[in-house]
Every structure is written in C-alpha cells, then in structure tokens.
A and B are shown apart, each in its own frame.
Chain A
Amino acid sequence: QVTLRESGPALVKATETLTLTCTFSGLSVSTRGMSVNWVRQPPGKALEWLAIIDWDDDKYYSTSLKTRLSVSRDTSRNQVVLTMTNMGPADTATYYCARTTIGVLGRGGLDIWGQGTMVTVSS
C-alpha cells in the first residue's frame, strides 16, 4: 500500500520560509513515470496547485508563485521537500502532497493524497 505523509511546522511567522516534507511509503519516490505534486487549500476555499517534481527530477511551478517556490527530492529518505519563501497571512492553508503518474493517455489525476498539514502564518 502506497501512502504519503506531509510534515512541517504548524505555525510560521510572516516573512519566514516554510519547509514541508512529503514522505513516501510503499513506493520509491524515483519510480519511473511517477510525479509528486504539492497542492494547498486555504480554509473554506478551493484547491490550488503549487508545484510538481517528476521522476526524472524535472520541476514545474505555479506561474503566480514560482518566484517563491522550490521543490526537491531526497531519494535516500524517500522524501520530497517543498520550500516557500516570504510567507504571509494569505499563505495560511492546508498543504497536501499528491501523486500523479504518466501513462499512455498522458498525465493522470492526483490518485494518492497525503492527509495534509495545516500551516498558519502569523503576522
């Protein structure tokens, strides 16, 4: 069974940098054709995609947030790490990591999600 689990601080201060970790169990983070996405959801609002890292280490970011985001992998720990700089109150949200795969029909849906981690930014 493949599971993902997010971890990181529950509270950060404005202007600080947020670092979140997504730990994979049951599957290598380097599995060919697999990607890890980061998605966030402010309280009461819709899902917002942030970034993706592919199995071959290609990385893509949300256009509106790309100057603040960085995603990387630690294959020895089977983890994916997201950093977001210059945090502000508007970044208060639940942050999820989620898997997608690439098949004959192209990139698929986000088929495995972590439970999410709530991050509050204090001003």
Chain B
Amino acid sequence: SYVLTQSPSVSVAPGQTARITCGGNNIGVKSVHWNQQRPGQAPVLVIYHNDARPSGIPDRFSGSKSGNTATLTITRVEAGDEADYYCQVWDNSGEHPSVVFGGGTKLTVL
C-alpha cells in the first residue's frame, strides 16, 4: 500500500515561514491535499489538488511539489496556525481507490 511520510514536528517563531513536507513514491503524479487540525477540532482542508486554496483559507497557505516531496508552506505564521497538518492522496494502485494520510506534522508556534 502507498505510504506518505511526514516529519513529526516543525517549530517556527511568529511571523516566520513554516514548511511542512510530505514524501511519497512518485508523489509527483498524484494530487496532494492538506488538512489542518487544531487541538480538539475536526480537520479542515487548507490545500487541495497540490496548490489550490478553498474559499476562506488565507493566501499565507500554499502548496507545491518537487520530485518525491510535496510541501505546505505557511508564511507570516500566527499563533492560530498551531495545529497538526496531514497530507493526503488517493491511492488508485489497488483493487479500488483509497485515501492515504501521512502521519501528521505538529506545527508549534514558539
């Protein structure tokens, strides 16, 4: 089955830029989606199809891919950005499509 790998944690100071990475074999041919989960809350989609932002998501959030790595970039980080971030793809290599999540990255705002 397909595996997505994320670093467990990232720490940045307010106002700085956070980069959260997601690695996967041949991830370049897949659409990557990113969810933010604040403590005690349900996840929220912040990036879909690699680099598109849903309505209401600040333009401080952006997504990109290079090689076997997708990156969620958060500029001008705020205290409210402190959350767990999960990358997600669809795995169509098996008998049927299935959702695959990365293990999540905890963003700490210092």
Contact = CB atoms under 8 A, between A and B. Distances in A.
B65 interface: no
Interface residues of A, number: 24
Interface stretch (B9-17, B18-26, B42-50, B72-80): B42-50
Nearest to A62: B98
A60 B100 contact: no
A67 interface: no
Interface extent on B, as a size class?
Answer: 20 to 34
Contacts of B101: 46-49
Given A47-B86, A60-B96, A111-B54, A96 B43 contact: yes
A55 B76 CA distance: 40
A33 interface: no
A37 B42 CA distance: 14
Nearest to B47: A109
Given A37-B99, A47-B86, A63-B94, A111 B31 contact: no
Contact of B35 (A52, A110, A115, A116): A110
Contact of A113 (B34, B43, B49, B104): B43
B62 interface: no
Nearest to A111: B45
B49 A109 contact: yes
Interface of A: 37, 39, 46-49, 52, 60, 62-63, 96, 98, 100, 105-111, 113-116
Interface of B: 1, 31, 33-35, 37, 42-45, 47-49, 54, 86, 88, 90, 94, 96-104
